[in-house]
Structure 1
Amino acid sequence: MHVSGLGINEELGKRLDRSRLPTRQDRNRALLGHTQKQMPKNPLTPKQVRRRHPKMAPEGAKQILMEAVNFARDRLVVTWLADGGFRIGELCGLHQADLHLREKAACGQCRSPHVHVVHRPANPNRAAAKTKAEWSIEDGVVRDGLIRRASPAMIHTYFEYMTCEYPRDAGHGMLLVQQHGPRQGQPWSTDAARGMLRRAGDRAELGRVKPHGFRHSFATAVLDASGGDLVVTREAGGWASASTVDEIYAHADVHDPDFARALQKVWGEEL
């Protein structure tokens, strides 16, 4: 700091010239520490990541992680978790036959691009959908199960993955596969997907990123966009009932200006 005051390395001096409140450890280490009111702030301290709810993904996680991951497969995973609200078992348990990503698919059950989430307990990677809704294959076409709409971004990342990375000789028919190592081309496990997200979150300084956090964020976003419609949110995310959505996700956002205005009105402080 003294040297920067003499005109040497002024930019570094400005970055280091910050302050913070002293911690108990600071006071214990310093002579007469109990009298200290502030301490220099360490510019290398990890930044704080804001989350609207502890279980939700960090704000902006989708866009940040898209820059941090290494494979087209991983960009697909991030996008489908964020835009589709999939559970990680559902996503890793998908087969190519479950994906109807063109309009007016042969199943005739949804005109828009969509995905059939079905329960397959015999998947080689042991990934399975939580739901056990009835489903069938008729003339090679998957029908029923839980139907999830697919966003344009989901479709884009799918075709990028299929074009650039998906092995042509994958006889198992599953969507997500291992990219390298002795099991290259084999179905990708849920543990491996969690590990990928954890490492990407660390690289992007987002802290611990969990797959289910995207599902919480998805539910809250759909609730907000639909004006609190529980039925729409239930169908979008494949929950068992609207009451489940109500109990888990229908909570107020304490950062919402409407929330603050409502309290101000109750307190008689409305402007």
Structure 2
Amino acid sequence: MRVQQIERKCGRRSWTILWPEGTVHVEADRFLRQHDGSGTQRTYAYLLVDHLRWLERECLAFSAVQLRDLERYMGMVGAEVRMPLGEPWRVGKRPYGRSALSATASCVKGFYLHQASLGVNVELGGKLDGTRLPSRVDRHRSLLGHVKTAMPANPLAPKGPHRRHPKMLPDGARERLLETVNSARDRLLVTWLADGGLRIGELCGLHLVDLHLRENAACGECRSPHLHVCHRPDNPNRAEAKTKHPWRIEHGTVTGGLIKRVSPAMVHTYFEYLTGGEYPRGAAGHGMLLVQLHGPGTGQPWAPVGARRMLGRAGKRSGLGLVKPHAFRHSFTSAVLDASDGNLLIARDAGGWASAATVDEVYGHVDIHDPAFDAALRTVWGEPK
């Protein structure tokens, strides 16, 4: 079995699962159609095909799968379960991390609940369709958490509290990268990732009309220079913003989307890029901000994979090792938290997070190299500060 990408006439993409002979896996396709047109469909397709391959190996029909089988599968891909697992699965591949395990649990639960709604293995669907009391995080995430008496629970999801420790950029990474990169476009990329906290898909998906880099722009939604992150699933470089805020164009002006402030350095690198001869004025035709500078695709939209490779090469040349775009976002959010005395709402809005609870989970912990933290430990240890 394999995942098949489907190109639509409107420019949108969908994903389904095919049998080896090329026919559509009907049960998987019906489930994936529920998430048509979203990034979730692609993620679920790749997670589900692995599970379906495992079912084939175990000779398990959908009607015969038990909750213990699903728990065993979660153990196969990296979850902590206390039971015999049988033959190894995904030999030679790393186990899933916490986020991938949570996504897998949601995908598998959703697939079997969909099967149960069609009358297949209703007993398993009942065991998966559990509830729990709303937690403090639920109340932070949504006002509905205050009035709901029960929240959906997933017996396959990873258990216990979890605090992520994101990988930050090394000290001085921005300056060393700016000295290493070879073009105004690449300097723009580094500066906008560092000062804007943008995801790489958001940055590569920007159009020129999304940029309002002067005071009191015509959109009237922000007095300061800013940009609008708009979700466009039909971008020619396949760059998509994760957030899907509604937006529109009225009289040539973009309104809505996710509004993010821009720094003077971001404005400077933008004009350096556009006036330095690298951007093919009038020749692009697509209106996107970042374009390829070399090769047969010169002037065409720059794909996120190209930006990642450029950063990786620049990081190795500057002695920083492999630099990933998302490390800029981690460093940006952590710096905003430090500058705002830990204000989660400011960090949430500056980074475009959906929830302050997510910011608290990922970034709301003390830096072990913080001077106050160091002084407190030295006091406990009885050493001079």
Using the TM superposition, give the Cα deviation of residue 176 of structure 1 relative to its aligned residue in structure 2, in angstroms: 0.2
Counterpart among 67, 88, 91 of residue 203 in structure 2? 91
| 2:166–2:362 Cα contact (<8 Å) kept | no
Deviation sequence 1:228-250 (CA, Å, 0-9, x none): 00000111110001111000111
Using the TM superposition, give the Cα deviation of residue 263 of structure 1 relative to its aligned residue in structure 2, in angstroms: 2.9
- Structure 1: distance between partners of 2:181 and 2:383: 47
Alignment of 1:7-46 (within 5 A): none
Structure 2 equivalent of residue 129 of structure 1:
241
SS of residue in 2 equivalent to 1:178: coil
Q: Do residues 173 (structure 1) and 287 (structure 2) align? A: yes
Q: Do residues 205 (structure 1) and 319 (structure 2) align? A: yes
Q: Do residues 101 (structure 1) and 213 (structure 2) align? A: yes
AA at the equivalent of 2:280: P
Structure 1 equivalent of residue 174 of structure 2:
62
- Structure 2: distance between partners of 1:94 and 1:201: 24
Using the TM superposition, give the Cα deviation of residue 76 of structure 1 relative to its aligned residue in structure 2, in angstroms: 0.1
Counterpart among 337, 349, 353 of residue 223 in structure 1? 337
- Structure 1: distance between partners of 2:243 and 2:194: 19
1:54–1:230 Cα change, 3 Å: closer
Q: Do residues 153 (structure 1) and 262 (structure 2) align? A: no
Deviation sequence 1:81-140 (CA, Å, 0-9, x none): 000000000000000000000000000000000010110000000001000011111111
User: Identity percentage over the alignment?
Assistant: 70
Structure 2 equivalent of residue 40 of structure 1:
none
Per the normalisation by structure 1, the TM-score is: 0.78
- Structure 1: distance between partners of 2:210 and 2:184: 20
- Structure 2: distance between partners of 1:238 and 1:255: 27
Structure 2 equivalent of residue 191 of structure 1:
305
SS of residue in 1 equivalent to 2:192: helix
AA at the equivalent of 1:224: D
1:203–1:268 Cα change, 3 Å: closer
Alignment of 1:105-124 (within 5 A): 105-124=217-236
Deviation sequence 1:26-58 (CA, Å, 0-9, x none): xxxxxxxxxxxxxxxxxxxxxxxxxxx761111
Structure 2 equivalent of residue 33 of structure 1:
none
- Structure 2: distance between partners of 1:266 and 1:243: 31
Flag the structure with more relative contact order, 1 or 2, with Cα contacts below 8 A and sequence separation at least 6. 1
- Structure 2: distance between partners of 1:262 and 1:111: 43
- Structure 2: distance between partners of 1:206 and 1:145: 34
Unaligned stretches of 5+ residues in structure 2 = 1-164
| 2:344–2:360 Cα contact (<8 Å) kept | yes
Q: Do residues 252 (structure 1) and 362 (structure 2) align? A: no
SS of residue in 2 equivalent to 1:58: coil
Alignment of 1:229-244 (within 5 A): 229-244=343-358
Q: Do residues 162 (structure 1) and 274 (structure 2) align? A: yes
Q: CA RMSD in A?
A: 1.3
Structure 2 equivalent of residue 72 of structure 1:
184
Using the TM superposition, give the Cα deviation of residue 269 of structure 1 relative to its aligned residue in structure 2, in angstroms: 6.0
| 2:174–2:194 Cα contact (<8 Å) kept | yes
| 2:312–2:322 Cα contact (<8 Å) kept | yes
Using the TM superposition, give the Cα deviation of residue 259 of structure 1 relative to its aligned residue in structure 2, in angstroms: 0.6
Per the normalisation by structure 2, the TM-score is: 0.55
- Structure 1: distance between partners of 2:383 and 2:318: 41
- Structure 2: distance between partners of 1:112 and 1:156: 15
- Structure 1: distance between partners of 2:184 and 2:378: 48
Between Structure 1 and Structure 2, how many residues are aligned? 219
AA at the equivalent of 1:197: L
| 2:337–2:344 Cα contact (<8 Å) kept | yes
AA at the equivalent of 1:179: L
Using the TM superposition, give the Cα deviation of residue 144 of structure 1 relative to its aligned residue in structure 2, in angstroms: 1.1
Higher mean alpha-carbon deviation, 254-263 vs 192-201, is at 254-263
